[in-house]
Amino acid sequence: MAESEMGGERTEEPSQRRLQEARERGQLPRSRELTNFATMIGGSAALVAVGGTAASHLAQMMRRSLSFSGQTLRSTDAKFNLELALLADGVAPRDIYKALSTPQGVARALAKLGTLGPIMWWTRSSEPAAMLADGRAAFATILNGDIYNAAAQGGEPGIIWDHQLYELDVFGIPKGDPKREMAMDFIRFATAPENLAHVADWVPYGPARRSALALVTKNPELGTAMRRFLPTAPENFRNAFAIDDSWWRAHRAGVTASWQAWQSLRNR
């Protein structure tokens, strides 16, 4: 049985209409390079704020940014930043990568980021939570696992799940592998609802099956209720946007040149 990254369980291939609808919502990665796969949601990036600056929507947060007394903290990579910028600027999810495939679209994303005022760049995923906690940044892009870690230490920032960005971790079986059935047995075990839920009880990743969500409870050590930290919980996943890694493999070199030139000007 295969499942989509949106958590919908199915026993047959999705219809073309449903695939198109998912693409238009930005919830379906376009790369399908492996002959057999089962999806498990990995960490997702969320835009967050602290204190009284918390907002419920990405665009609202971007509009408020110029009034912040602190700085914006963002990943140093073009990936994630450009998608978030266009989403906040009103580009429909289905058109994000079409826009980024043009110099005009990249320029639009960079112009939107230019409205944020002072920007600091993080290179280690642990930095955003620490810099939000000590006031060095007013808001930041951050991985949801680090939000959970901050909450476990008593310093949870406000979270904006609107247009969270997510990627997938997958199990793959090379075509023609003589141990295919053994691998499929493991995949069936690893993606069983109870096992996905057990993983999510420990770390806030996934689960990738709707049937697993109801089985997620509390962290066995800390007693923390895990559902509110899960990127695939329906209330958090409503406007989730799927990062298209196949697009980045094809376009990273050209986009990175524009990104680095823009960063160089910003950092002067």
Q: For residue 3, is it within any domain?
A: no
Range(s) of the domain holding residue 34: 16-266
Q: For residue 2, is it within any domain?
A: no
Q: For residue 66, give the CATH number of its domain.
A: 3.40.190.10
Q: Is the pLDDT of residue 152 over 60?
A: yes
Which tokens go with 187?
């995949």
Beta strands in 173-255 (DSSP E): 241-242
Cα separation, 126 vs 143, whole angstroms:
9
Q: For residue 58, is it within any domain?
A: yes
Most confident of 15-19, 67-71, 108-112, 124-128: 108-112
Q: For residue 9, is it within any domain?
A: no
8 Å CB contact between 187 and 38: yes
**How many residues in the chain?**
268
pLDDT in tens, 65-111: 433 334 565 677 899 899 989 998 999 999 999 999 999 999 999 99
Residue 143 banded pLDDT, cuts 50, 70, 90: confident
User: What pTM did the predictor assign?
Assistant: 0.74
Q: For residue 155, is it within any domain?
A: yes
Q: For residue 7, is it within any domain?
A: no
Q: For residue 245, is it within any domain?
A: yes
Who's near 79: CB < 8 A, 6+ residues apart?
Answer: 243, 248, 252
At residue 22, the pLDDT reads 54
Domain count, the chain: 1
8 Å CB contact between 88 and 57: no
